[in-house]
Structure 1
Amino acid sequence: MLTRAEDRLQNLWDDARAATMSEPEKLLYRSNLLGSDKRITNYGGGNTSAKVMETDPLTGGEVEVLWVKGSGGDVGSIKMDGFATLYMEKLEALKDKYRGVEFEDEMVGYLPHCTFNLNPRAASIDTPLHAYVPAKHVDHMHPDAIIAIAASKDSKALTQEIFGDEIGWLPWKKPGYELGLWLEAFCKDNPDAKGVVLESHGLFTWDDDAKACYELTLEIIQKAMDWFAGKTAEQPAFGGAVHESLAPEARRAVAARLMPAIRGFVSGNQHMVGHFEDSDAVLDFVNARDMPGLAALGTSCPDHFLRTKIRPLVVDFDPRTGDVDAVLDGLAGQIAAYREDYTAYYERCKHGDSPAIRDPNAVVYLVPGVGMITFAKDKATARISGEFYVNAINVMRGASAVSEYQGLPEQEAFDIEYWLLEEAKLQRMPKPKSLAGRVALVTGGAGGIGAATAARYLAEGACVMLADIDAGALDGTAEGLIQTFGRDAVRTVEINVTDEAAVARAFAEIAVEFGGVDILVSNAGIASSAPVEDTTLALWQKNMDVLSTGYFLVSREAFKLLRAQGIGGSIVFVASKNGLAASPNASAYCTAKASELHLARCLALEGAEAGIRVNVVNPDAVLRGSRIWEGEWLEQRASTYGTDKGGLEEMYRNRSMLKRSVFPEDIAEAAYFLASDRSAKSTGNIINVDAGNKEAFTR
């Protein structure tokens, strides 16, 4: 939280741009500006509002309407349709329905009755907090600098010391209707106050002008950051370091070994995806003397522990010895102990109507000398969970430097984690896609079949690492997929499948980026055509190197990683009709492809006891988008069949039994079937996707 001049919060408000906006549009503008800086608020955290005069669509009269961020939104990326709109008159009338704090949750059920203009956006639990502040514009943010104050034992005194009477303080209270009434009472009792710090929660600020509210929020947060900078500049963080960080490559190497093992333990109910973080803030914390004690206290802000669980698991790794094998040997015991501790927490704190216990595994894993690992249902959630724990680290750094850090009381934390309203939100989540949580590596990923297969997997919720020897094509293909499916789910690695060390590095990379692997699509390929007497040893060997040895190398590394996880997996070979049906002037290619088929059968035998399925897709004549048809192979095959380039696809189509062309998406569909649970009882099989070729019948 140190604030060099270049690190100060920037006022990004553009008067010329704002001059053209309506009040709701200014609210959106303000929200996006605030959410663009994680020092102001974390992803999905905080909310904003504006009270606006609108024309009632029923009466035609002017009414006051509360525009407030809807449930589940993110202020940084919210659009106009992300705001709930409610009649202020009806929100005021809710006070007559309130039966007291023990019944406050029922007030959420009344919020839809206050909806203005049939807006379908659901109002959040924080709506009363905005409604009852007597100001036109209200910001509620979760800045690390403010939460560090809010989570300190001397929170109230520190708030007074830093802000005087400008910013007030309220003790911890679970978000909800009662807290909204507390805020209203505070404003009435302190009419000159510009905001309030909520203990263990965050910051509220308000004004009657949109720009002034935005600038006030920045000013208050910056004041807190400056105050911490003056107090903590010379202090060692978290009691000083007791471990030294490993070198960056060594940190990733350790993570690459730990993450698949952890993933295997935590994927019992659903496949989980991992994220690794070794930023300076994380390393300062995991290497520190006070880290174990602070981590055990748990996080303070509700937004933090809803994403990270109440506390992390500290992995028993000593960076001085670097003994990863010893950690792996003890990992099962550590994870079992965490589950037992979490189950005991649930049993101590549960109520008669509490939801059933959820996944008892840790989300956050702290590794001294290495960094932080997080696991969640998808990559974005794992990454965001890590970001939230970095927020928590910053809070602990600040609070413990100027006072004593305190997490929420255990019962209060439980009551939010297992809040019936939170459970209802979870139950409304859409059903996971068929490959949710799965991780795939696709070799030959920049080609037509590889790219189509990756897109099919991504559409079903998988994470994909594209591997290819052509760096330029790889980047172009990845960027196209990122545009459609988002950056979190797509990674790339440049790889020559005939290079043993490069293949090993690729699997280490996927282990760090996603936590492991579930699906290998072995698709890297070349093609050559020549009469046998013109087939040089070099040409023969090149086919064998890429299409036989290359498939062996990537499969071998996949088996190692799949066995380390212990949760099964699927390997799909993209072979060829020519593995079954001989073709003239292509002995090297056909023989290498036949080798792939038999390798798959062997691997199916070896992998079955570990739940590793191995199957094959046999394409034929996939010209569109295929890079092996861009060069000599196209000319050679056209020459073999006495046609030209333009007539070759028509020739292949007419040669097929179904008289249809085969496209990359057709191969991708078969590769999806063989990787998904729809084929869970299939291994050692071949699916021909060739529009029908009797010579390639498997029986």
Structure 2
Amino acid sequence: LQGLVLAHHGMVVWAEDAAQCYRRLLSLVRRAEDYLATREPDESVFGTVISPALPPAERAVAAAWIMPVIRKALGGTDKVILHHDHSPWVMDILSRADFPGLARKGVATPEHILRAGRLPVILDLDAAGDPQALVVAAEEQLAEARRDYLAYHHRHAAPDQEPLEDWAKVVLIPGVGMVTAFKDKRSAQVAARCYRAVMATLAGAETLGGFNFLPEEEVFLFEHWPLERRKVEEAVARERKNFLLPRHIVLVLGGASGIGEAAAHRFAEEGAHVAVADLDGERAAQVAAAIHERFPGRATGFTTDCRREEAIADAVQQTVLEYGGLDTLFYTPGLAPRFAPLSRITRDDIQSQLDVHYIGALLAVRHAAAVMTRQGLGGSVICSVSKAALAPGREAAAYGGSKAGLQHALRTAALELGPEGIRVNSINADQVETPLFLEFAGARAAARGITLEQQLAGYRDRNALGVSLIPARAVADLAVLLASELFRFTTGDIITIDGGLPEAFPR
């Protein structure tokens, strides 16, 4: 006798010394591998195809509608981050008739319970149908899965034992893909890899005669293993203590430079996952890469033209597909004004400012709020409106008008979105050291026939604190606070950061 195979747990071998024991283990593993090679499984063990994968574009749309609903259902007191696996191999298995029944038997090993949960949630949806009906069906089926979990919990729990908040980690949607949930993106990706291993194990076991897992009462004990639950609880406690925005999802529009770039970094520093979008997509990707170096898996960057509604909608959808939902929108794209008196201002001058500062912002709020509402977790919208929203400037009617219009519209949005728990606030920032402001100041200086240094000195002299240039990070700090629970009772407000400019004091 050289070893024992322990059902559901693994293999134990022994020998006279460690080296001989290791060689024996390898020998037995190779024998098992050689045997399995003669019984190579394929996906046909899961039956015939009955739910083929949707085409990629339709699949993305369906996933973007469903994922915020999943995020609400699987997140308890603490939110979750999602990962969407729609690789061809996964899609093929999910398409087959017999797979759901086999998946409900359990996972491959006790370790997989920790990483992928005791059972997947399987959603039977008409993914190609009406999106609103899709959301309703997903909500109903997730609620039913939760009730099933609670029944399982009450069958085995002690009287004072609470149900788990992380009760499910894998959601399977034929035609759409596999969605996994965890505390961050990388952990959600690990859960996906674990469940891929479960799929492979199910296929192999069915080829060899059938799959069986631990009895339900043993699964419950492993789920509630005190050491592992303590690790989870301590990790959550550390997040709450150390970060303002743990497990938060933020979309920064205008995130390639200046205030947006600083804010993207600050959001990530406080625990958030950040989508960085900008007209300069290459630079947005660079900002995301810099964040990724510090916080792996917690930033993505892409091109967005905020003058086009379809681009804004796509930015929101990309954020949802990457992380599962949306908690905060920070809108800070800027277009430098062309200074001109009213007698010479053109329609194009006015329209170009409105497209970026007013229309683009409102459309971004609209699309972001739709996701937040579907997600049902509240949210925060923050827009940069600048001094121009409050204080008029000569030859800047188009620029100032677009900013003032946005500020008024945001107050309306605060009224409309409040019942959904979505807060809407703005930041009045001036004299911030960004490429756009320096371009603005340079144009003002040229118009007045003075140097940039003289223009900046004039700005310093006019504010109460005698401030010249304000670091972009200071504005980013304010954006983080507005997104956090510290400002959970604040909406419809405008907060100033300009060194104290009397004519821009909110009235």
Shift, 1:545, TM fit: 0.9
* Segment drifting more, 516-525 vs 557-566: 557-566
1:299 aligns to what? 107
**CA distance in structure 1 between the aligned counterparts of 2:173 and 2:475, rounded to whole angstroms:** 42
Contact 2:185 2:323 in 1 (8 A): yes
Superposed CA offset, 1:224-281 (max 9, x none)? 5554343226772423322211112221111011111222333342222211111133
Q: Which residue of 432, 452, 460 corresponds with 1:653?
A: 460
Letter of the 1:682 partner, please give it: T
**CA distance in structure 2 between the aligned counterparts of 1:582 and 1:318, rounded to whole angstroms:** 54
**CA distance in structure 2 between the aligned counterparts of 1:217 and 1:256, rounded to whole angstroms:** 46
1:187 aligns to what? 14
Shift, 1:518, TM fit: 0.9
Residue 468 (structure 2) pairs with residue 468 (structure 1)? no
Q: Which residue of 401, 404, 419 corresponds with 2:210?
A: 404
Q: Which runs of 5+ in 2 are unaligned?
A: none
Shift, 1:642, TM fit: 4.2
**CA distance in structure 2 between the aligned counterparts of 1:450 and 1:381, rounded to whole angstroms:** 27
More contact order relative to length (CA 8 Å, sep ≥ 6): 2
**CA distance in structure 1 between the aligned counterparts of 2:456 and 2:31, rounded to whole angstroms:** 69
**CA distance in structure 2 between the aligned counterparts of 1:310 and 1:496, rounded to whole angstroms:** 43
Residue 174 (structure 2) pairs with residue 365 (structure 1)? no
Q: Which residue of 169, 172, 177 corresponds with 2:4?
A: 169
Q: Which residue of 477, 480, 483 corresponds with 1:672?
A: 480
Q: What is the root-mean-square deviation of aligned Cα atoms in Å?
A: 2.6
Q: Which residue of 500, 503, 506 corresponds with 1:692?
A: 500
Letter of the 1:242 partner, please give it: I
**CA distance in structure 1 between the aligned counterparts of 2:4 and 2:488, rounded to whole angstroms:** 57
Residue 104 (structure 2) pairs with residue 277 (structure 1)? no
Shift, 1:568, TM fit: 1.2
Q: Structure 1's 684 and 219: CA in aligned 2 closer, same or farther, altered over 3 A?
A: farther
SS of the equivalent of 2:104 reads helix
1:345 aligns to what? 152
Larger radius of gyration: 1
**CA distance in structure 2 between the aligned counterparts of 1:222 and 1:459, rounded to whole angstroms:** 47
**CA distance in structure 2 between the aligned counterparts of 1:647 and 1:226, rounded to whole angstroms:** 81
Taking the TM superposition and a 5 Å limit, the aligned residue runs for 1:225-264 are: 227-232=35-40, 236-264=44-72
1:117 aligns to what? none
**CA distance in structure 2 between the aligned counterparts of 1:448 and 1:222, rounded to whole angstroms:** 58
Q: Which residue of 547, 550, 553 corresponds with 2:357?
A: 547
Contact 2:385 2:426 in 1 (8 A): yes
Q: Which runs of 5+ in 1 are unaligned?
A: 1-164, 176-181, 193-205
Superposed CA offset, 1:583-607 (max 9, x none)? 2222211111111111111111111
Shift, 1:437, TM fit: 1.8
**CA distance in structure 2 between the aligned counterparts of 1:607 and 1:222, rounded to whole angstroms:** 61
Identity of aligned residues (%): 32
Count of equivalent residues: 501
Residue 325 (structure 2) pairs with residue 538 (structure 1)? no
Q: Which residue of 242, 258, 262 corresponds with 1:452?
A: 262
Q: Which residue of 425, 428, 432 corresponds with 1:622?
A: 432
SS of the equivalent of 1:232 reads coil
Letter of the 2:485 partner, please give it: D
* Segment drifting more, 472-481 vs 224-233: 224-233
1:635 aligns to what? 442
Superposed CA offset, 1:463-500 (max 9, x none)? 111110112211221111111222x1111231111101
2:302 aligns to what? 493
1:356 aligns to what? 162
Letter of the 2:181 partner, please give it: F
Superposed CA offset, 1:398-420 (max 9, x none)? 11122211122212211111112
* Segment drifting more, 404-413 vs 540-549: 404-413
2:253 aligns to what? 443
* Segment drifting more, 544-553 vs 530-539: 530-539
Letter of the 2:302 partner, please give it: V
Shift, 1:639, TM fit: 2.1
1:613 aligns to what? 423
2:139 aligns to what? 332
**CA distance in structure 2 between the aligned counterparts of 1:329 and 1:254, rounded to whole angstroms:** 13
Shift, 1:351, TM fit: 4.7
Residue 370 (structure 2) pairs with residue 560 (structure 1)? yes
**CA distance in structure 2 between the aligned counterparts of 1:229 and 1:322, rounded to whole angstroms:** 42
SS of the equivalent of 2:172 reads strand
**CA distance in structure 2 between the aligned counterparts of 1:676 and 1:329, rounded to whole angstroms:** 29
Letter of the 1:362 partner, please give it: A
1:502 aligns to what? 311
2:382 aligns to what? 572
Contact 1:355 1:420 in 2 (8 A): no
Letter of the 1:594 partner, please give it: A
Contact 1:316 1:327 in 2 (8 A): no
SS of the equivalent of 1:436 reads coil
Shift, 1:528, TM fit: 1.3
Letter of the 1:610 partner, please give it: E
2:221 aligns to what? 415
Contact 1:276 1:373 in 2 (8 A): yes
2:331 aligns to what? 522
Shift, 1:555, TM fit: 0.8
Contact 2:8 2:214 in 1 (8 A): no
Superposed CA offset, 1:378-409 (max 9, x none)? 22222221221111111111111222111222
Superposed CA offset, 1:126-183 (max 9, x none)? xxxxxxxxxxxxxxxxxxxxxxxxxxxxxxxxxxxxxxx8x733324879xxxxxx95
Q: Structure 1's 324 and 218: CA in aligned 2 closer, same or farther, altered over 3 A?
A: farther
SS of the equivalent of 2:274 reads strand
Shift, 1:641, TM fit: 4.8
SS of the equivalent of 1:274 reads strand
SS of the equivalent of 1:687 reads strand
**CA distance in structure 1 between the aligned counterparts of 2:4 and 2:130, rounded to whole angstroms:** 48
**CA distance in structure 2 between the aligned counterparts of 1:280 and 1:216, rounded to whole angstroms:** 38
Contact 1:300 1:408 in 2 (8 A): no
Letter of the 2:168 partner, please give it: A
Shift, 1:323, TM fit: 4.9
**CA distance in structure 2 between the aligned counterparts of 1:216 and 1:572, rounded to whole angstroms:** 63
Taking the TM superposition and a 5 Å limit, the aligned residue runs for 1:81-230 are: 168-172=3-7, 183=12, 186-187=13-14, 191=16, 207=19, 224=32, 227-230=35-38
**CA distance in structure 1 between the aligned counterparts of 2:252 and 2:26, rounded to whole angstroms:** 46
**CA distance in structure 1 between the aligned counterparts of 2:345 and 2:267, rounded to whole angstroms:** 38
**CA distance in structure 2 between the aligned counterparts of 1:658 and 1:635, rounded to whole angstroms:** 22
Contact 2:287 2:301 in 1 (8 A): no
**CA distance in structure 1 between the aligned counterparts of 2:193 and 2:79, rounded to whole angstroms:** 21
Letter of the 1:645 partner, please give it: L
Residue 322 (structure 2) pairs with residue 513 (structure 1)? yes
